[in-house]
């Protein structure tokens, strides 16, 4: 894959980075920082990408790894306000269902967020198991639990 092709692949898959940044960081500034960290790590890891897995699977692995391993710079900026914050980079009234889903995912644990975000992006169990480094069977069991937990949060 040439540099140009690699850049195009990141560009067309940047929604994944955007979502991961939103799930793993609270403030807008922290999300922007994480986005940059992920893109930096993608470029750094790019020589090791051999194309054995799908680009999006590889990107998910690097992005989730960066999000889960890096340290937050500062605490979340918590302020009382009469409006809902632009928590996930979209205005809440622009797409209420999406905002509700993102908020619900935000309440999950770090590994749960990783699995459910891949699932919602259409990954199969084998791909998710490969990224996480666990067996396919166990991932399946875990995914069902996370889905149930998410449904409970959504229906509250």
Partner 1 sequence: MELEELMSEYQKDNGSKSKSELTEMSRADRHPVLKRIRLQLIIESVLWAIVLSVYYTGFDGDQKSWYWNIILVVAIIFLLMHNLLGYRLMQSPINGPNITVSLKKFARKIRAYARISIATRVIAIAAMLAFFASTVIWNETKIIAGMLFVAVLLSLQIFLLWRMWKGRANRIQKKIDSLVSMENKD
Name the site residues for partner 1 (rule: CB under 8 A): 7-8, 10-12, 14-15, 17-19, 33, 35-37, 39-45, 61-62, 64-66, 68-71, 73, 95, 97-98, 100-101, 109-111, 114, 120-122, 130-135, 137-139, 141-142, 147, 150-151, 154-155
Of 81 and 144, the one with the shorter C-beta distance to partner 1 is 144
Residues whose CB falls within 8 Å of the CB of residue 128, separated by 6 or more in sequence, listed in order: 115, 118, 119, 139, 143
| 3-state percent breakdown (helix, strand, coil) of the chain, nearest 5 | 70, 0, 30
Of 7 and 84, the one with the shorter C-beta distance to partner 1 is 7
Q: What is the DSSP string of 17-32?
A: HHHHHHHH-SSHHHHH
Of 107 and 135, the one with the shorter C-beta distance to partner 1 is 135
Q: What is the closest distance, in whole angstroms, from the C-beta atom of residue 108 to partner 1 in the complex? A: 11
Report d(CA 29, CA 4) in Å as an integer: 28
Of 82 and 122, the one with the shorter C-beta distance to partner 1 is 122
Q: What is the closest distance, in whole angstroms, from the C-beta atom of residue 82 to partner 1 in the complex? A: 26
Alpha-carbon Rg for the chain, nearest whole angstrom, is 16
Of 81 and 156, the one with the shorter C-beta distance to partner 1 is 156
Q: What is the closest distance, in whole angstroms, from the C-beta atom of residue 13 to partner 1 in the complex? A: 8
Question: Measuring CA to CA, which residue among 86, 94, 99 is closest to residue 154?
Answer: 99
Q: What is the closest distance, in whole angstroms, from the C-beta atom of residue 47 to partner 1 in the complex? A: 12
Phi, psi for residue 52 in degrees, rounded to 5? -75, -30
């Amino acid at each position: 894959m040439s540099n140009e092709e690699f850049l195009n692949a990141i560009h067309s898959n940047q929604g994944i980075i955007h979502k991961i940044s939103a799930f793993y960081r609270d403030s807008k500034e922290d999300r922007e920082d994480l986005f940059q960290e992920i893109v930096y790590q993608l470029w750094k890891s790019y020589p090791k990408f051999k194309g054995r897995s799908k680009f999006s699977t590889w990107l998910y692995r690097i992005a989730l790894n960066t999000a889960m391993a890096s340290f937050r710079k500062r605490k979340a900026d918590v302020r009382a306000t009469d409006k809902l914050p632009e928590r996930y980079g979209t205005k809440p009234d622009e797409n209420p269902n999406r905002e509700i889903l993102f908020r619900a995912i935000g309440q999950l644990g770090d590994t749960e967020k990783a699995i459910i975000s891949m699932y919602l992006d259409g990954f199969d169990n084998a791909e998710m198991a490969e990224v996480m480094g666990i067996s396919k069977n166990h991932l399946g069991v875990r995914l069902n639990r996370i889905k149930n937990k998410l449904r409970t949060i959504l229906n509250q």
